[in-house]
Amino acid sequence: MAARAYDTIRSMVENLDGTMVYQRKGYRYGAWIIRIDGKEAVLKAAGNQSFPELDNLHLPRHPNPKHWNDYWRELLPDAEKRLLQMLR
């Protein structure tokens, strides 16, 4: 089975009993909407193959990454903490 977009983050959100849904309508380049424990984060695409807030939860492949393909699938050790700080 092929990996879903941002699969490692989706799994983390689902393990926290949350949801992560991609929505195109209403956003120029689309957005991921993450909901956990009554809180929400709307993370918009930058339009250059990047969701900066989500990309920054992954280990970079090289210095100065610019889009999703410049990151490994592996999450940073504090990715969960960073994600929870994005929620309002």
Question: Which pLDDT value is given to residue 1?
Answer: 43
Question: Which pLDDT value is given to residue 71?
Answer: 92
Question: Per residue in 8-65, pLDDT tens?
Answer: 999 999 999 999 999 999 999 999 999 999 999 999 999 988 999 999 999 999 999 9
By the 10 Å C-beta count (0-12 exposed, 13-18 middle, 19+ buried), 69 is classed as exposed
| Phi-psi domain of 37 (left: phi exceeds 0; alpha: psi -120 through 50; beta: other) | left
pTM beyond 0.85: yes
Q: Work out the number of other CB atoms within 10 angstroms of the CB of residue 21.
A: 11
Q: How far apart are CA 15 and CA 24, in angstroms?
A: 24
